[in-house]
Amino acid sequence: MHTPRSPRPVRLLAATLLAAALALAGCSADDTGASSDSKAGPAKGAQRQGAADSGTGGGSTAPGSTPKLTTNAIIRTASLTVQVKDVSRALDEARATVENAGGFVGDESTTRDMEGNERTRLVLRVPTEKYDQVLTALQGAGKLVERTAKAEDVTDQVVDVESRIRSQRASVARVRELMDRATKLSDVVALEGELSSREADLEALLARQASLKDRTSLATITLSLSETPVEKAAEENRPGFLDALAGGWHVFVTLLRWIALAIGAALPFLVLAAAVVLLWTRVVRPRLPRRPDPVSAAPALGPLPVARTAPEHENRGEQD
């Protein structure tokens, strides 16, 4: 008698084969994922690094460090009035101080008063970084009478001029490219006019930039040196009675001078007019024909009778 075979070994074999297949599939998936992660790892790492850098300001500034600021463009000017014992000596010392600092004397004027005291005015240009040092040295040359200082921030103007210069240069370059491509004479003429206008604007901007650079890189100090006190000089300049008298005399003399000049200018015309009148009265008028005198007509019949008035009593009698 044939007995049927049990299905348990078959099931066990199928389960074993399924487990082996799943194990192989898991291993292949792990290998594939690992290889893909190894390939995409640098890109993802770079992305993460970039995100980290952007979150920390690009990674250029370390934590706790101060960012670099733009230097402001400042125009510095000052005015000093100093009383000294010897103006010539103080002038030489001021020149030496400025030249040692890398500056120069821009303008100089010297005068003397009635008593022979010397006064000098200097316009000095010194580098901005040596401005405070030179100012301190100059005011220490004698007795400081007056001091004024001013600082003007022109950073916005400098930035604006630089931006406009870049734009204007690009505009000039575009016009030149159009001129190179132009084929018609009318187009070339129009483009040349436009190019000249834009180049003139560019030159004006460059001149303004140079002026701002000169005024910001070199400070201006106006120095006045005097041997006499300023208060005394001011009192000497006040007018007095003698000054008023001298001024009146000067005005009087000036008026007489102008009157003499006016008479001198009119004298030729007066002489000519006198000569014409003399010629008329002495030469021309005597030769003119004289008119006969008018004869008065006498009455032919003599005088007319005058009516006589009747007496008053006769008039009454006639009435009665």
In a domain, 166, yes or no: yes
In a domain, 163, yes or no: yes
Q: Are 176 and 210 within one domain?
A: yes
Q: Are 136 and 189 within one domain?
A: no
Strands 218-226 and 74-83: parallel
In a domain, 313, yes or no: no
Q: Are 140 and 175 within one domain?
A: no
In a domain, 208, yes or no: yes
pTM (two decimals): 0.47
**Domain endpoint, select from 130, 154, 178:** 154
- Per-residue pLDDT, 116: 74
In a domain, 36, yes or no: no
Q: Are 83 and 150 within one domain?
A: yes
Q: Closest Cα to residue 130, out of 122, 140, 141, 138?
A: 138
> Which strands sit side by side in the sheet containing 143-153, from one edge to the other?
104-112, 118-127, 218-226, 74-83, 143-153
Encoded amino acid at 152, one letter: E
In a domain, 53, yes or no: no
Q: Are 127 and 192 within one domain?
A: no
Biggest CA–CA distance in the chain, Å, is: 227
CA dihedral 26, 31, 37, 38 (to 10 degrees): 170
Q: Are 182 and 188 in contact (CB under 8 A)?
A: yes
Q: Are 80 and 73 in contact (CB under 8 A)?
A: no
Q: Are 116 and 161 within one domain?
A: no
- Per-residue pLDDT, 244: 81
φ/ψ of 289, rounded to 5, equals: -65, 135
Q: How far apart are CA 174 and CA 197, in angstroms?
A: 14
Q: Are 227 and 119 in contact (CB under 8 A)?
A: yes
Q: Are 83 and 107 in contact (CB under 8 A)?
A: no
In a domain, 316, yes or no: no
Q: Are 195 and 163 within one domain?
A: yes
Q: Closest Cα to residue 175, out of 196, 193, 191, 164?
A: 191
Give the CATH number for residue 135.
3.30.70.260
**Domain endpoint, select from 154, 182, 205:** 154
Number of domains within the chain? 2
In a domain, 278, yes or no: no
Give the CA distances from residue 288 to residues 29, 174, 277, in Å, rounded to whole numbers and listed in that order.
151, 93, 15
Please state, as a whole number, how many other Cβ atoms lie within 10 Å of the Cβ of residue 77.
Answer: 15
**Domain endpoint, select from 114, 131, 154:** 154
- Per-residue pLDDT, 117: 79
Q: Are 192 and 210 within one domain?
A: yes
For residue 187, what are the domain limits? 156-214
Computed on alpha carbons and rounded to an integer, the radius of gyration of the chain in Å comes to 57
Strands 74-83 and 104-112: unpaired
Q: What is the pLDDT along the chain (320 residues), one digit of tens a residue?
A: 444 444 445 455 555 555 555 555 444 444 444 444 443 343 333 333 333 343 333 433 444 443 343 567 899 999 999 998 888 888 889 989 999 999 898 888 888 877 777 888 989 999 989 998 998 888 888 888 889 999 999 999 999 999 999 999 999 999 999 988 888 888 888 888 989 999 999 999 999 999 999 999 999 999 998 886 655 444 555 667 777 888 888 888 898 889 988 898 888 898 888 888 888 888 877 777 776 655 555 455 555 555 555 555 555 555 54
